[in-house]
Amino acid sequence: MDVQTMTDENTAESQEAPEEATPPSQPVEPAPTLGEAFIKDGAGVSKEEDLLHNTRLTPNGLFISEQLLTPLLATFSTWHQEHHEKHSVLDHAKGIKKLFHADKPQLFYLLDGKTCLVGFLIPGTFHERDKLPFPFYRGSLLEAKNYLHMRDPFLKELRDAEEITDSNGFRIKITSGSTPLFVTNQVLLHFAELVRASKQFVKRHPAVVESIRAVIPALCSLWRKAPKASKNKKLLIPSQWRGDKSVTFYLAGEFIFVVDKENSLVGIFGSKGKNLHELLISEFDDLKKKSKGKRLRGFTFEDKGRCLGTVPSERDGSFLVEPTAFKEFIDKAVAHQDARKKLPNFFTVRDCLELLGQTFRQTDWSEPYQLPKNCIREGLPNARYRTTKDWVFVLRGKRNIVGCIDRHKGDLKPQERRHHSNKGRSRRPRRKSA
């Protein structure tokens, strides 16, 4: 049999027994969520006015305005008890979690023409949209966490603030203080970043995490009590404001407000915790960039690991400054009787670096037994020390400055120092017995 005959036979066999085509698989619709089932049952929103003005069906779920949340949760609790758990009643928190799949529903803006709705999204696909009575919306929702819309109805309800739009654009006018304060949207966003970075502030004002608009009442409360910074007060400020006589500093809790002559809030910075840390980093990096490799008085920038730079000593060369040591020096120099006199009242990071270099230059090595007990750094058993009559600098290894101690106050907290009867005594090594 030749090759052509075999090919013809195989072709005939393949024609006689064709393979059956596999039918395409049908997509399986996911089971409806609890929120979808609740809405499809018609147990959600029933008033025609609410349907038209306070709801929108979106591709990702049902949007409801914030004023519908409480009555909707009450209805959902009843429906859930009838259809799922007859012997249990959902409280507010459990209702939120089951309906929105989150402990706290996220706040959104929905802009439909000239209408600005503020509310929440019940997640779901709602495949049979034509059978539901809600207006359909194809646009995107805007997260209120990092956005404030000028038509937010919340702004009309504020007691100590109002929205104004004039030749200067959209601003918030704060009226809680003795003088009005004007805040732009950009400054408000920056303030939100600062307050959200403060754990203590968030504990007192938890709503600031959820939306920009919640920051406004918090700003009002701070402005109500904020005094002007005295000209004699020692205050660390960003370098951009140094010597600027057109601005005034206000002490607003753990924040400093910078206000110009037109009562506009033109700057905010933190004076504690993470915000102070970020300010120091930002100011240092900016100073380093502007210096272009040039030395400051008593300080030289270096790129060695996490060290900031070097400070000189009179006889033993230069030493590396770690960030923790610089931060401690700033904290203690402001309270030190002699060091604070060498700082301007409104001082900058540059002033502190130069004062650190000037102070460290006068140091000499000291053994631990030569120091008061409360000047020994706990948790660093192999630490070395360089001292002056007023300061103790803590070193790790040969040349890394990691800490700074006011010699007259010691390294312990005040309440701890009260319990140390040997305060100020020198500790000498014990003699070894023969």
pLDDT digit string (tens) for 261-270? 999 999 999 9
Q: In this model, does residue 432 exceed pLDDT 80? A: no
| 108 and 218 inside one domain | no
| 307 and 412 inside one domain | yes
| 141 and 162 inside one domain | no
| 338 and 385 inside one domain | yes
For residue 29, tell me if it sits in a domain. Answer: no
| 118 and 165 inside one domain | no
pLDDT recorded at residue 421: 35
Overall number of domains in the chain: 3
More confident residue, 125 or 352: 352
Distance, in Å, from the CA atom of 109 to the CA atom of 64, rounded to the nearest integer, reads 11
For residue 36, how many other CB atoms are within 10 A of its CB? 19
For range 375-396, the mean pLDDT? 93
Coil, helix or strand at residue 97: helix
Q: List 183's β-bridge partners, or say none.
A: 172
Range of the domain at 169: 153-270
Distance, in Å, from the CA atom of 154 to the CA atom of 170, rounded to the nearest integer, reads 15
Q: In this model, does residue 68 exceed pLDDT 70? A: yes
pLDDT in tens, 125-148: 877 777 788 899 999 999 999 999
Distance, in Å, from the CA atom of 286 to the CA atom of 302, rounded to the nearest integer, reads 14
Distance, in Å, from the CA atom of 165 to the CA atom of 158, rounded to the nearest integer, reads 16
pLDDT in tens, 18-61: 555 555 555 555 666 777 888 877 666 667 787 888 899 999 99
Q: In this model, does residue 190 exceed pLDDT 70? A: yes
More confident residue, 207 or 1: 207
| 79 and 137 inside one domain | yes
- For residue 323, which phi and psi values (nearest 5 degrees)? -55, -35
DSSP string spanning 190-234?
HHHHHHHT-HHHHHH-GGGGT-STTHHHHHHHHHHH-PBPPTTS-
More confident residue, 131 or 175: 175
Provide the token pair at 241.
């404001």
| 259 to 194, 222, 244, 248, 419: CA distances (angstroms) | 17, 14, 11, 5, 45
| 93 and 122 inside one domain | yes
| 141 and 44 inside one domain | yes
For residue 23, tell me if it sits in a domain. Answer: no
| 258 to 162, 250, 263: CA distances (angstroms) | 20, 7, 9
**Distance separating the N- and C-terminal Cα atoms of the chain:** 113
Question: pTM, whole model, 2 decimals?
Answer: 0.81
For residue 275, tell me if it sits in a domain. Answer: no
| 255 and 158 inside one domain | yes
The confidence band for 163, taking pLDDT boundaries of 50, 70 and 90, is: very high
| 408 and 298 inside one domain | yes
pLDDT in tens, 72-114: 898 888 888 887 776 677 888 888 998 898 999 999 999 998 8
For range 163-180, the mean pLDDT? 93
pLDDT recorded at residue 416: 47
Q: In this model, does residue 293 exceed pLDDT 80? A: no
